Amino acid sequence: MSSELFFQSIAELSAALAAGKLSSVELTQAVLARTRAVDGRVRAFNSRDEADALAQAAASDARRAAGRSRGPLEGIPVGLKDVIAVAGQPLTASSRMLANFVSPYDATVTQKLKNAGAVLWGRLNLDEFAMGSSTENSATHPTHNPWDLTRVPGGSSGGSAAALAAGEAIATLGSDTGGSIRQPAALCGVVGLKPTYGLVSRYGLIAFASSLDQIGPFARTVEDAAIVLGAIAGHDERDSTSFRADIPDYRAELSARKGPWRLGIPKEYFGAGLDPEVGAAVERAVAFYRAQGCEIKEVSLPHTQYCLDAYYVIATAEASSNLARYDGIRYGHRAAAKDIVDLYFQSRAEGFGPEVKRRIILGTYVLSSGYYDAYYLRAQKVRTLIRQDFLDAYREVDALITPTSPVPAFKLGEKSDPLAMYLCDIYTIGVNLAGLPGISVPCGFTAAGLPIGLQLIGQPFREADLLAIAHRYERAHEWKAKTPEL
């Protein structure tokens, strides 16, 4: 791994901090300087507060000096997607609607990171309201892929992935509704984990599709992802969908769980549309697991072809309902209007960008009188079948291996058609519909030098196994030693 501080892992840096070889202020200054040097090109941040970060770092050093270190995240700069509330900091969802919004309170994950001693650093760009797969739908600016600045970082958590890949943070948080952590992680060559639905509290996360949204970490290594997950997971009474699950020591379990595992290859995930270089890289990863003594079985998820359709009905329906709150009254953009009803129409027209409007229209339509049964109710039934496909497969295997994204990072402006963009998520959305944990791990580069991601899909609330399986691959491969040249 690179000797530059900003490319090191949490595990390495926390050891250096604990040994007194490094202070959090020094580390934070290195990350701030790196950000100043490269973010004019990467553009991962919506806003950043250097003074606030340095004050947190100084407080961390003081805690450590007093013998009150809070654990492996003590003093580590962690960036947050700009849909996660931090009290007193901007929260924009990369939307004009919330351009001037300041969070009145902390999200639960924010509070947990503070309790773990992390230095919260910056507000990271995304597709507006997390709707997109390239971060081009941001109302502020597109983010660029650090590996090739003419290409997208993926989305919707593109800022979180790009900032980490570029050395502008040591770890970041994103949110994943249909692949918005895993796909940008794949396109930017970092690890991205979507936990089981209900494992991480959504309190203080701007809602997109509430039955699908989960917060999760981006990290340089699987071990780092395990560290961050351990800090943010757990039941929260402020999120009524939060699950009462035991939270193991994910980091300790990485080497404690040795396998060998039974791994399933869903045949539907290797069909038309899969880039040959991506497919070949995933095949090599499968061969690695086989050589490690894992049993590899082909499995079928027969309703895979319906995932995209069920997702775009359910996600847009929930979004149209969730985004009804942006009416120009209590907070957010308010347009000049002649009366109260006009104020609703004009505030929403001015505040929302094109993709958000499209999804509100689609979601309103599928919920509207006469269409509810044909679209929304039917999609929910198909969701049952999709979920059952996974549960059936898990009778035979412990986890599934697939590509994360069918293609590596594409050019900015390349996918102007909404449907073409939606197809970016074909390998990731089934996981959200079924509520499962999924992780994207770097598994090589294309001939053109673009990162490729391997997706591992685990069983509900068995992140410890999923992380151990991913860790087995990662520690035998040196992909993370390569960093983008900026």
Partner 1 sequence: MAAPADLNIDHVAQLARLALSPEEKARFARQLGDVLHHIEQLSKVDVAGVEPTAHAFPVVNVWADDVARPGLPVADALRNAPAQRDHMIVVPKVVE
Neighbours of 150 (CB within 10 A): 12
Q: Per the residue annotation, which of 156, 160, 405, 440 is the catalytic one? A: 156
Tell the smallest beta-carbon distance from residue 366 to partner 1 (Å). Answer: 8
Residue from 20, 67, 273, 370 that binds partner 1 (CB under 8 A)?
370
Among 30-38, 180-188, 192-200, 221-229, the segment contacting partner 1 (CB under 8 A): 192-200
In sequence order, which residues have a C-beta less than 8 Å from that of residue 476 and are 6 or more positions away?
A: 288
Beta partners for residue 80, in sequence order? 123, 173
Q: Per the residue annotation, which of 180, 201, 320, 405 is the catalytic one? A: 180
Tell the smallest beta-carbon distance from residue 419 to partner 1 (Å). Answer: 5
Identify which of residues 77 and 430 has a Cβ nearer to partner 1 in the complex.
Answer: 430
Residues numbered 298-317 forming contacts with partner 1, rule: CB under 8 A: 303, 305-306, 308-310, 312-313
Count of residues that interact with partner 1, criterion CB under 8 A: 76
- Do the beta carbons of residue 452 and residue 443 sit within 8 Å? yes
Identify which of residues 72 and 198 has a Cβ nearer to partner 1 in the complex.
Answer: 198
Tell the smallest beta-carbon distance from residue 159 to partner 1 (Å). Answer: 22
- Give the whole-angstrom CA distance, residue 305 versus residue 430: 10
Residues numbered 108-147 forming contacts with partner 1, rule: CB under 8 A: none
3-state secondary structure of 204: coil
Q: Is 180 among the catalytic positions? A: yes
Nearest to 184 by CA among 212, 223, 224, 142: 142
Neighbours of 189 (CB within 10 A): 30
Question: What's the maximum distance between 2 C-alpha atoms anywhere in the chain?
Answer: 71
Residues numbered 437-466 forming contacts with partner 1, rule: CB under 8 A: 460
Identify which of residues 291 and 341 has a Cβ nearer to partner 1 in the complex.
Answer: 341
Residue from 58, 247, 337, 486 that binds partner 1 (CB under 8 A)?
337
Q: Within 13 Å and on the Cβ side, how many CA atoms surround 200?
A: 33
Nearest to 453 by CA among 419, 430, 424: 424
* Structure tokens, 119: 């230095």
Does 101 participate in binding partner 1 (rule CB under 8 A)?
yes
Residue from 256, 374, 448, 476 that binds partner 1 (CB under 8 A)?
374
Tell the smallest beta-carbon distance from residue 329 to partner 1 (Å). Answer: 6
Site track for partner 1 across 382-411, x = CB under 8 A:
xxxx-x------------------------
3-state secondary structure of 414: coil
- Do the beta carbons of residue 455 and residue 404 sit within 8 Å? yes
Identify which of residues 262 and 387 has a Cβ nearer to partner 1 in the complex.
Answer: 387
Long-range contacts of 357-361 (CB under 8 A, 24+ apart): 358/418, 359/131, 359/315, 359/316, 359/319, 359/320, 360/316, 360/319, 360/320, 360/323, 361/320
3-state secondary structure of 278: helix
* Structure tokens, 404: 């994360």
- Give the whole-angstrom CA distance, residue 462 versus residue 441: 17
Q: Is 47 among the catalytic positions? A: no
Q: Is 156 among the catalytic positions? A: yes
Identify which of residues 35 and 94 has a Cβ nearer to partner 1 in the complex.
Answer: 94
Identify which of residues 189 and 460 has a Cβ nearer to partner 1 in the complex.
Answer: 460
Identify which of residues 56 and 242 has a Cβ nearer to partner 1 in the complex.
Answer: 242
Residue from 20, 237, 276, 293 that binds partner 1 (CB under 8 A)?
237
Does 434 participate in binding partner 1 (rule CB under 8 A)?
yes
Annotated catalytic sites, by residue?
Answer: 81, 156, 180
